[in-house]
């Protein structure tokens, strides 16, 4: 099969495109012929060696959409020909390729009305947003939340999910994305290049922080006593608050079929729309990961393989 992979750590330029062996399904697994796979912020970090992999080569990528082409023993609820989407097991990479072996229990059937490209674009971003907004922050109707870095894939999904839950949503972005995020439902959009968010918002119920760096620690300042913050871009552990009356949380992005089905339902009902997508061929993986690493993008980057 064709794949984009690394044989050493470094910048995106160390990515190679070539042939690797096809996978076979172990018991409880299916093999999926990949139609689309998305690029996520974690991918360039894998490339740089920020995650531990026992050996090379390492295929990048975590989410996908495609068609089941082989079924392992003990798999009863999926069959060859089923269109599916999903996210690889936690701690595992390997979707920048033409075939994927994955546990059947964490794969969901792709809704007929959702393209493979759109399903791949939503899988990991949607799963992360649901875990953060619903499961970790437990956001309620009537609360106010600040979502940092609103134009990113996870944050743009989170904005829509938070509005669907009945919350008031504030977000930060560059000037180029202010109008788009208002269209997604954000009640207040702050241009982070022009305004310090700490000067215009305060006493918030929750913060969802997707940017990292100095922004992570600064986010505690806008919470009310008893407020809570969830972080996905600040290392393996949530930052320690610089005040004792707020809660700092790190979402656990567990994989399961019901969460994927939740994503599909949110899209089906119109609560969440598919983000803008820029398509690449797998042979252009270096360029795609370079763009992702630069972080100044709107929506999602997706490889279309078939």
CA distances from 271 to 32, 218, 268 (A): 28, 30, 8
Contact between residue 204 and residue 147 where contact means Cβ atoms under 8 Å apart: no
Question: Which residue carries 């076979």 as its tokens?
Answer: 24
Contact between residue 32 and residue 15 where contact means Cβ atoms under 8 Å apart: no
Asked if the model's pLDDT at residue 299 lies above 90, the reply is: no
Contact between residue 127 and residue 119 where contact means Cβ atoms under 8 Å apart: no
Angle formed by the axes of helices 41-48 and 285-294, nearest 10°? 110
Which two three-digit tokens encode residue 31? Answer: 């093999």
**CA 292, CA 89: separation in Å to the nearest integer?**
22
Task: Measure the CA angle with vertex 152, ends 143 and 13; round to 5°.
Answer: 155
Asked if the model's pLDDT at residue 129 lies above 90, the reply is: yes
Closest CA to 304 of 276, 284, 289, 274: 284
**Res 296: pLDDT:** 74
Confidence class for position 298, pLDDT limits 50, 70, 90: confident
Domains of the chain (ranges plus CATH)?
Answer: 2-114+274-304 (3.90.180.10), 125-249 (3.40.50.720)
| 219 contacts: CB under 8 Å, gap ≥ 6 | 146, 148, 207, 209, 229
Query: How many alpha carbons lie under 13 Å from residue 245 in its C-beta half-sphere?
Result: 9
Closest CA to 117 of 196, 51, 36: 36
* pLDDT digit string, tens, across residues 233-269: 877 789 999 999 999 999 999 999 999 999 999 999 9
**Burial of 48 by CB count in 10 Å (0-12 exposed, 13-18 middle, 19+ buried)?**
middle
Q: Pick the residue with more confidence: 299 or 160?
A: 160
Determine the 3-state secondary structure of 223 from DSSP: strand
**CA 297, CA 277: separation in Å to the nearest integer?**
10
**CA 220, CA 199: separation in Å to the nearest integer?**
13
**CA 147, CA 170: separation in Å to the nearest integer?**
6
* pLDDT digit string, tens, across residues 272-288: 999 999 999 999 999 99
* pLDDT digit string, tens, across residues 179-224: 999 999 999 999 999 999 999 999 999 999 999 999 999 999 999 9
Question: pTM score, two decimals?
Answer: 0.95
Confidence class for position 137, pLDDT limits 50, 70, 90: very high
């Amino acid at each position: 099969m064709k794949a984009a992979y690394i044989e050493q750590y470094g910048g995106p330029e160390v990515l190679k495109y070539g042939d690797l062996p096809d996978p076979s399904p172990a018991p409880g697994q299916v093999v999926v012929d990949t139609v689309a796979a998305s690029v996520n912020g974690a991918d360039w970090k894998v490339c740089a060696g920020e995650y531990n992999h026992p050996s090379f080569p390492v295929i990048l990528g975590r989410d996908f959409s495609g068609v089941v082409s082989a079924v392992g023993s003990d798999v009863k609820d999926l069959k060859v020909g089923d269109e599916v989407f999903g996210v690889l097991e936690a701690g595992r990479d390997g979707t920048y390729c033409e075939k994927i072996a994955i546990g059947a229990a964490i794969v969901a059937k792709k809704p007929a009305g959702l393209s493979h490209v759109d399903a791949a674009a939503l899988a990991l971003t949607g799963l992360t947003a649901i875990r953060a907004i619903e499961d970790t922050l437990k956001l309620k109707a009537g609360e106010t939340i600040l979502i940092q870095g609103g134009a990113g894939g996870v944050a743009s999904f989170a904005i829509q999910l938070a509005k669907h839950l009945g919350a008031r949503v504030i977000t930060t972005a560059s000037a180029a994305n202010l109008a788009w995020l208002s269209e997604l439902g954000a009640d207040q959009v702050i241009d982070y290049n022009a305004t310090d968010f700490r000067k215009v918002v305060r006493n918030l119920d929750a913060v969802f922080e997707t940017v990292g760096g100095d922004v992570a620690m600064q986010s505690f300042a806008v919470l009310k006593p008893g407020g809570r913050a969830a972080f996905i871009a600040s290392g393996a552990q949530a930052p320690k608050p610089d005040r004792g009356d707020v809660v700092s949380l790190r979402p656990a992005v567990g994989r399961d079929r019901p969460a994927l089905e939740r994503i599909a339902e949110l899209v089906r009902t119109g609560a969440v729309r598919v983000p803008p997508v820029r398509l690449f061929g797998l042979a252009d993986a270096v360029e795609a990961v370079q763009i992702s690493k630069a972080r100044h993008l709107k929506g999602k980057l997706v490889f279309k393989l078939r």
